[in-house]
Chain A
Amino acid sequence: KQEVTQIPAALSVPEGENLVLNCSFTDSAIYNLQWFRQDPGKGLTSLLLIQSSQREQTSGRLNASLDKSSGRSTLYIAASQPGDSATYLCAVMGDGGATNKLIFGTGTLLAVQP
């Protein structure tokens, strides 16, 4: 059974700092891994999607890496801003069958202090 864990559970940093969020998964047989952002009481916003054959994806100040063999992914946020404050979730999609489920991690609550 796939299990996804995120460390740290919560993080508070001053504005301008670079930071790294971690995601680990137990079963390396994944099709892709996605990072989402969730603001309080809101739905999910997809940030980056990495296919299993890829090593990293970049979008603006965000960079996500994937090491499938070791079951790890990181989300790097450069020059953090107060607007980055949110909960960040990673999710993995299994590689088997026509209906692939997303298994979500436990989330990291990020607070960027102005």
Chain B
Amino acid sequence: GAVVSQHPSRVICKSGTSVKIECRSLDFQATTMFWYRQFPKKSLMLMATSNEGSKATYEQGVEKDKFLINHASLTLSTLTVTSAHPEDSSFYICSAGRATYEQYFGPGTRLTVT
């Protein structure tokens, strides 16, 4: 149990376009989902925390208008990178909280903006 999926696993888009990444908890309900960004050979940086049915809480320095997060149901959260630019290229990982102190991670999405 406690499986989290992400879609797509890889995406290449042109500069100026928007890209949506989905994060799903497949076999449990997640009241909280987290979005992380990982630069090459770097650690994971928390971008935002989203709770089902409410606005996401963004970490300092993360542009909420740039990275739109929607947590419409207890099993789905989406991250939309708006007007993507090459500097947005990165590995994006989500996690889903099954209980207050448990998080399960998705396999990640590699975004490349050309």
Find A100's partner among B91, B101, B108 (CB 8 Å cutoff).
B101
Interchain CB contact under 8 A, B43 and A102: no
Report the interface size for chain B: residues with CB under 8 A from the other chain: 25
Query: B43 — which chain A residues lie within 8 A by C-beta?
Result: 89, 104-107
Roughly how many angstroms separate A41 CA and B111 CA in the complex, as a whole number? 11
Query: A76 — which chain B residues lie within 8 A by C-beta?
Result: none
Q: What's the dominant secondary structure at chain B's contact region?
A: strand
Chain A positions 78 through 114: 1 when the CB is less than 8 Å from some CB of chain B, otherwise 0: 0000000000010101000011111111110100000
Roughly how many angstroms separate A31 CA and B101 CA in the complex, as a whole number? 8
Roughly how many angstroms separate A42 CA and B34 CA in the complex, as a whole number? 17
Report the interface size for chain A: residues with CB under 8 A from the other chain: 22
Query: A105 — which chain B residues lie within 8 A by C-beta?
Result: 43
Report 27 cross-chain contacts, Cβ distance below 8 Å, ordered by A residue. Answer: A41-B91, A41-B110, A43-B93, A43-B106, A43-B107, A44-B105, A46-B105, A89-B44, A91-B44, A93-B101, A93-B103, A98-B100, A99-B57, A99-B97, A100-B100, A100-B101, A101-B34, A102-B34, A102-B46, A102-B95, A104-B36, A104-B43, A105-B43, A106-B43, A107-B42, A107-B43, A109-B41
B interface, CB within 8 angstroms of A: 6, 32, 34, 36, 41-46, 49, 51, 57, 91, 93, 95, 97, 100-101, 103, 105-108, 110
